[in-house]
Amino acid sequence: MLIKRLMALFVMLLLAGPLAAQDRAETGGAQTLEDIMARQAAQEVDDAFRRDATGDPEAAAATKDQLGSLGGVSDAEVWRALRYDSADITVSAGGRVAETLVQSSGMEWTLFREGPLATYGGWTLLGTIGALILFFILRGRIGVDGGLAGRTVLRFKFVERFAHWILAGSFIVLGLTGLAILFGRAFIVPTFGHEANAAILRFSIFVHNNVSWAFMLALVMIFVMWVWHNLPSRLDLVWFAQAGGIVGSKHPPAKKFNAGQKLIFWSCIVFGGLISVTGLSLIFPFEIPVFAWVFGVLNATGLAELFGGALPTTLTPHAEMQLAQVLHAGFAFLLMAIIIAHIYIGSVGMEGASGAMTHGEVDEAWAKQHHSIWLEEMKEKERQPNATPAE
């Protein structure tokens, strides 16, 4: 049950412990009623008694004897070897991918993709939107104490805004096309039919694969420009202690980026990086296997114990792709939820915040309330001889 176990890396919920060893003498080594009932109860069953029962060529009968032509392997044993990818297969073309003739774990991936992944991912997005609506109803828009000053200071240069909007725009497109790819069969087909769904998915896949390059480029740009401003500091503890001024009336001091913005930044870098790596694995199928290596590192460092024990380091090319898709979508759902909250606070949720990324300037009263240390640094630069405009 390879895929089922590995998918626990994302959902972080382990299945029930494996069923205790069964006495299969009465069934001639076949599965027992306890095995069947355990599967129905969603328990993990050790199927080594089937996986390893692939015949013994050394015990082959002579060709003149009964069953001699089978070479010590029955038809059932041959099919078991194919199912568990242990058969000695030789192909003339296609390489390792073509050697996998039966991959039963693919059904587990399909069920997970259409079940828990789509369900929990969808509810994560809807729950985030619902929570923000409720927060807005209860808290209202965060205003500027005493009103706007009418004087502005440059918050972000053009190149910073350019990188931000390339990243934001591409991520929105990737999110919408990704949702269409995942949910098309469930929502588009019943309403518009199979042909419309097929056309939408072909367009979505084309756009998704090509826009991804803009997302990765912009991700590198914002990392280079802003990483030094987003390193942790003791000011972050004060910001968290006062809930960033979002809850309550206090306004903690902050430099160019406060602790909340740093969380957004590092979420984009970490989750965006993981989405990019798994996405490249999907754009170039079977050419960029990463999970066997990652699992080997987790095993060597002992971190694999967090996921229930040693992880497999020999994966079929198909299993690599399925894991890439599951984690790609999972990380994307998490980042989409975070970005939805970011869009809220930068638009309707906070007075005076949107100008930072539209025309680049913010009101001084807003800057003093939310980034007081940064504002003082900018004013100090302006007072210096030959000073350049504040950034």
Closest CA to 371 of 352, 387, 389: 352
Supply 87's token pair. 């058969």
User: Mean pLDDT, to the nearest integer, of 357-372?
Assistant: 92
**Cβ neighbours for 241, distance < 8 A, ≥ 6 positions apart:** 252
Supply 236's token pair. 């972050």
Which pLDDT does position 9 carry in this prediction?
Answer: 47
The region of weakest confidence among 50-64, 266-280, 349-363, 366-380 is 50-64
Tracing tokens 């998704």 back to the chain, one arrives at 208
Q: How far apart are CA 307 and CA 275, in angstroms?
A: 21
- Residue 256 burial (CB count, 10 A): 18
Q: Is residue 283 predicted with pLDDT exceeding 90? A: yes
Q: Do 239 and 252 contact (CB within 8 A), yes or no?
A: yes
Give residue-wise pLDDT tens across range 227-242: 999 999 999 999 999 8
**Cβ neighbours for 206, distance < 8 A, ≥ 6 positions apart:** none
For CA atoms 174, 179, 180, 181, give the dihedral sign: positive
Q: Do 279 and 300 contact (CB within 8 A), yes or no?
A: no
User: Mean pLDDT, to the nearest integer, of 23-32?
Assistant: 68
Supply 147's token pair. 């009103």
Give residue-wise pLDDT tens across range 107-119: 888 899 999 999 9
Q: How far apart are CA 249 and CA 142, in angstroms?
A: 10
Which pLDDT does position 10 carry in this prediction?
Answer: 47
Q: Do 60 and 71 contact (CB within 8 A), yes or no?
A: yes
In percent, the amount of the chain with pLDDT more than 90 equals 50
The residue with greater pLDDT, 232 or 249, is 232
Which pLDDT does position 341 carry in this prediction?
Answer: 95
Closest CA to 321 of 160, 21, 97: 97
Q: How far apart are CA 269 and CA 287, in angstroms?
A: 24
Tell me the three state secondary structure of residue 43: strand
Which pLDDT does position 258 carry in this prediction?
Answer: 93
Q: Is residue 200 predicted with pLDDT exceeding 70? A: yes
Tell me the three state secondary structure of residue 93: coil
pTM: predicted TM-score of the whole model, two decimal places: 0.81
Residues counted in the chain: 391
User: Mean pLDDT, to the nearest integer, of 371-381?
Assistant: 90
The residue with greater pLDDT, 59 or 45, is 45
pLDDT tier at 17, thresholds 50, 70, 90: very low
**The domain 107-156+227-383 is classified under which CATH number: 1.20.950, 1.10.3470, 1.25.40, 1.10.8?**
1.20.950
Q: Do 352 and 363 contact (CB within 8 A), yes or no?
A: yes
Which pLDDT does position 14 carry in this prediction?
Answer: 33
Q: Is residue 89 predicted with pLDDT exceeding 70? A: yes
User: Domain ranges in the chain?
Assistant: 1-51, 107-156+227-383
Q: How far apart are CA 263 and CA 39, in angstroms?
A: 41
Which pLDDT does position 22 carry in this prediction?
Answer: 62
Q: Is residue 302 predicted with pLDDT exceeding 50? A: yes
DSSP code at position 247: S
Q: Half-sphere exposure of residue 271, counting CA atoms within 13 Å on the CB side?
A: 19
Which pLDDT does position 309 carry in this prediction?
Answer: 82
Q: Is residue 60 predicted with pLDDT exceeding 60? A: no
Residue 323 CA, distance from chain mean position: 10
pLDDT tier at 78, thresholds 50, 70, 90: confident
User: Mean pLDDT, to the nearest integer, of 197-203?
Assistant: 94
Amino acid at 354: S
**In the chain, helix, strand, coil percent, each to 5?**
65, 5, 35
